[in-house]
Amino acid sequence: MNEFELNKLLSDSKKLDDKIRFYLDKEILVKQNAQKNEILGHIAKAEHNLEFINDIKNDFNDWILVACYYTSYHMALALILTKGYYSKNHDATLSF
């Protein structure tokens, strides 16, 4: 998802709802009972990525960016699990 598409979703709740409904219909987002250990596992992975960001030298800005993305991704997975969903797709996760 590019910045333009993200801004459209953030500014138009109907578009966001339509996109989430699309992923639910395709079973890319699925209902799942929240398992506390799974949520904590994603949070731990995000924290691990943050440690990497803090430890890496500034010469590796490309890897810092990758680690920031995966930190956000794992936190998003943890958040949607708290809402009773599981995602099989990065775009669906970040759209939710």
Residue spans of the chain under pLDDT 50:
none
What's the total number of domains in the chain?
1
Each residue's pLDDT tens digit, 27-46? 999 998 888 999 999 999 99
Model pLDDT, residue 10: 82
Asked whether 55 and 91 are in contact (CB, 8 A), the reply is no
pLDDT for residue 94:
80
Domain interval for residue 47: 3-95
Residue 57, pLDDT score:
76
DSSP string for residues in the chain: --HHHHHHHHH-HHHHHHHHHHHHHTTSEEE----HHHHHHHHHHHHHHHHHHHHS-GGGHHHHHHHHHHHHHHHHHHHHHHTTEEESSHHHHHH-
pTM over 0.95: no
What's the confidence (pLDDT) of residue 20?
87
